[in-house]
Amino acid sequence: MTQNVPDKIAKELAKLRKQIEEHNYNYYVLDKPTVQDADYDKLFDRMLEIEKEFPHLVTLDSPSQRVGSAPSKKFEPHKHRVQMLSLQKITTFKELQDFDKRIHRFGLIVDEEYIFMPKYDGLAIELVYENGLLVTGSTRGDGKTGENVTPNIKTIQTVPLKLSGETAKKYPILEVRGEVVMPRADFERLNQLQVSMGLSPFANPRNAAAGSVRQLDSRITASRSLVFYPYGISRQDLHGLETYVQVLKLFGKEKFNIIPNQFKVYGIDDLNSLYGQLLELASYRPNLPIDIDGAVIQLNDFKDQMELGQVSRAPRWAVAWKFAAETAETILQNVIFSVGRTGVITPVADLKAVRVGGVEVKRASLHNEDELNEKDIRIGDTVIIRRAGDVIPDVVSVVEDKRPKDAKKVTYPKVCPSCAEPIERFEGEAAYRCVNPHCPAQVVEKIFHFAGKGGMDIEGLGGKLALQLAEKQLVTIAPDLYFLTKDDLLPLDLMADKKATNLLKAIEASKQRPLPNIIFALGIPGVGETAAKLLAEQFGTIEKLMAVAYEELETIGGIGPILAQSIVDFFAGDIGKNMISRLKEGGVAFPVFASERKEIEGIAGKTFVITGTLSKPRDHYKKLIENAGGKVSSAVSKKTDFLLAGENAGSKLEKAKKFGTEILDEDGIIKLLRD
């Protein structure tokens, strides 16, 4: 039963919340505390006291919601309304010039108004505000679906829980995107605490920030010093927000923390000059308060951004100009040869441990025999290590002046290091391969691939368990998983009764996976998740796919001649046939894939271009057109059949008129789809 709240108490609570949020803003965003800690604590304790007495007064935007809550069991998926994109990466001024040329090649009349901002190295997050209240905080995930980490995000003091009434009224749904980072000083304090507790330190501030946000217990997140910096919004067609600069002003008004040193410039020469200044700053990276890994460069005007559109997962209107990878010297102690899922033999450098870019590196890629010979890499050499893209360790070169007299040349194996079968190097390939389909190392990798999220998504089946299953010969090909029993599993290391039961349940559940997942899980060389979905849409059943001819595959957009041959060879060979047979025997359903595609006469085979501001996102119409068999292009040409034009259509409309392209408004495209 709801308690009656004295008017005096209600007013006091409202005043307390306002005071606390003001103090939080001054302390966490402006870095100018205006009250002593003891006085702040009194205000906060009084607020909690009132909320405890009158629990129905607790609201989503109360400062009390920042303290964290009890652990959750798992993160729920959150589907982004608009895809979160990744940025194309460049590292040279020449690549920046190429980016600028590509923009002009599309025929846009732009004033070259660019935004330059430092690129903070953190965890990408989306905040969803509905009617001014923060309702969801989620990670990027794969760009389309992330993890709902709302309770954790609410603990970050620089994330506003509520927007102003004016903004809420103007934008009932506002999706703010940005980066969660951990300041370096707080990162170092956290690592000291980790070590004192006998725990492993975090590799770098980005990993610490990501690990803190993805805690199942949000009270742990609340204990970490995290900061949120917004860098944009999801939509480019909101009235009154026509440029990035206008969005930046909105962020300031709503008391977000703003990334400093952002500039609006004209032309790429100014961008190059700014980047030079940033490089000077980068030389002090270990001493900077926030980790940066380059700069983001984007067009300021949202209309221009929409005109340019995107390719795959990256926008055409922005790039990330990354710093050159950090390097370090160390000793090459040995070369180990690993065997991948497709049998490729890869040389791996076994290094004397060295820190590169805040991460301890003990292994690095040597790629293939040609690289070993070209760089004349020998065991005992002093080598320069680089973390390519600040992620993948790579051996750049040898420091020949430091080569010891007893340095040994690397001998490439003649047989597979896993199964001792002969290896082959096929014409046109740089790599050697083990062609034994039952090679233990390949089996492990194939099991791991098969059970992964893009495939059969078998929870609890990681690399260590895959290794045990292969070594014990319980699984020789991935479909053998469907014949495992609890008696098979219990003797394995770290396998208790409950864990075995849960694994068997996960294997059983995977039998109902949709066809695209199954096709990807098969491990057909060259077939990734995108190609797997395309094949499922095109053929609908595994039987039709198995029977398809090379000539038919080659005509499908997105399937080139090499991939087409790979698919045909897989299903024509014993491996593909045995896998399908064994999967069916194990109870995998192979459901018919009900594609949303339904070709419509008048649209199928036609090329469309979409421009201007529409009542619905462009992706909405793009999906409808593609499901009807049409193709959506980003640029108008003589081959364009239709232009879907909204308000404020620009140069594309003029170009379409010049070519005599048929122009549709929203009513026109809907009528065409219905007809």
User: What are the structure tokens assigned to 674, written together?
Assistant: 């219905």
Residues in CB range of 196: below 8 A, 6 or more apart: none
Angstrom distance (rounded) from CA 624 to CA 599: 10
Look up 8 and say whether it is catalytic.
no
Which of 222, 209, 216, 215 minimizes the C-alpha distance to 182?
A: 209
Three-state DSSP state, 486: helix
CB 149 within 8 A of CB 210: no
CB 135 within 8 A of CB 129: yes
CB burial of 25-52 (b: ≥16 within 10 Å; e: otherwise) equals bebbbeeeeebeeeebeebbeebbebbe
- Residue 69 has phi, psi (to 5 degrees) of -130, 180
Angstrom distance (rounded) from CA 550 to CA 54: 71
CB 386 within 8 A of CB 369: no
Angstrom distance (rounded) from CA 305 to CA 234: 12
Residues in CB range of 446: below 8 A, 6 or more apart: 341, 477, 478, 523
Residues in CB range of 537: below 8 A, 6 or more apart: 593, 595, 597
Angstrom distance (rounded) from CA 409 to CA 19: 70
CB 394 within 8 A of CB 385: yes
CB 446 within 8 A of CB 579: no
CB 16 within 8 A of CB 22: no
**Would you list the DSSP string of 353-396?**
EEEETTEEEEEEE---HHHHHHHT-EET-EEEEEEETTTEEEEE
Angstrom distance (rounded) from CA 464 to CA 266: 54
CB 486 within 8 A of CB 501: yes
Q: Which residues pair with 365 in a beta bridge?
A: 348, 394
Which of 78, 79, 83, 80 minimizes the C-alpha distance to 622?
A: 83
Which of 148, 167, 194, 141 minimizes the C-alpha distance to 453?
A: 141
CB 260 within 8 A of CB 116: no
Residues in CB range of 298: below 8 A, 6 or more apart: 114, 115, 244, 305, 315, 317, 318, 319
User: What are the structure tokens assigned to 491, written together?
Assistant: 């003797």
**Would you list the DSSP string of 260-328?**
SS-EEEESHHHHHHHHHHHHHHHTTGGGSSS-EEEEEEEESBHHHHHHH-EETTEESSEEEEEPPPPEE
Residue whose structure tokens are 């709240």: 5
Angstrom distance (rounded) from CA 233 to CA 235: 6
Catalytic residue among 15, 74, 119, 362: 119
CB 332 within 8 A of CB 378: yes
Catalytic residues: 119
